[in-house]
Structure formats: structure tokens, C-alpha cells
Amino acid sequence: MKKISVETWVGLFVIIGFACFSFIAIKLGDVDITGADRYNLTARFTSVSGLKIGAPVELAGVRVGTVNSISVDKKDFEATVAFNVEKGVDLPSDTIASIRTAGIIGDKFIKLTPGGMDDTLKEGSQITETESAIMLEELISKYIFEKN
């Protein structure tokens, strides 16, 4: 029987360590490697201040999707946000997309509030009812400087 060399043991140890590191990075980073079925939607906002790519999309406080991209329409001066939602989450066509803050100074996310229509949003649909990000600084300055 042949003895396994030290180099082989070190190689196995490095491979196992890399596998453990990858597993932890995926779990902590909340990376979706399963390729879960999702469909893409868009929404236009007058302000997406603080919203980032990778931000959660929530329905009733449960994460159902992720922000994919944020772009600005230079003609209409609005931001277009593309995001995905898990298949099986059938959103009515009059769903409202709002940009909210987790806590007082937390990260921004998209909150979906379903409407009452019977027809649902499909792949590539655009949500027309939106509520932009609330700027806390603007509210405070408005209260302070516009008080008579």
C-alpha cells in the first residue's frame, strides 16, 4: 500500500478549506445559486435616492425578489428600476411599488403593495403606480425653515 504524500494532504486541506469558504460566502452574501424561477419587472420613480443594486424587494415583509439595475431616463428625468420577483408570486396589475427604508437610517428596499385587479403582471411588465424615496433631510429642513 502506498503512503499518501504530505503534498496530497495539503492539497486536500486547501480544497476543503476553499469549499467551506465558498459555502459561507454564499450563505452570508445571500447569493442565489439555485437559479430559482423569477420574472422581471420594472418601475419608474422620480427619486431612488439610496436604493442600490441587490436591494431586496418585499411583499408583506417577506423578501420575494432583488433589484437588478437602476438607470436614469435623461429625457423624462426619472429613474427606471429593474427587479425580479419569484414565480408563484402573482401580483395584480395595479400593484404599488414604494421605496422604503429599513428602520430610521437603514438600507433602502422596494415594498410591493398589491392592488385588487384580477389581471396580473407578467414578465417584462412595468409597475405604473410608484412612491419615491422619502428624503428625511428634506422633511426636516422643510419643518425647520418653513415654520412661521
Q: Supply the pLDDT for residue 19.
A: 92
List average pLDDT for each run of 10 residues in the chain, which is 148 residues long. 80 92 78 69 89 90 90 88 90 90 82 88 88 75 74
d(CA 118, CA 120): 6
DSSP-derived secondary structure for the chain: -PPPPHHHHHHHHHHHHHHHHHHHHHHHHT---S---EEEEEEEES--TT--TT-EEEETTEEEEEEEEEEEETTTTEEEEEEEEETT---BTT-EEEEEESSSS--EEEEEE--S-SSB--TT-EE-EEEPPP-HHHHHHHHHHT--
Contact predicate 57/66, CB 8 Å: yes
Length of the chain: 148
The string of pLDDT tens digits covering residues 78-113 is 899 999 998 888 898 899 999 888 877 778 899 999
**Does the predicted TM-score (pTM) go above 0.85?**
no
Q: Supply the pLDDT for residue 31.
A: 60
β-pairing, 62-73 vs 78-86, is: antiparallel
Distance of CA 136 to the CA centre of its chain: 21
Bridge partners of 147?
A: none
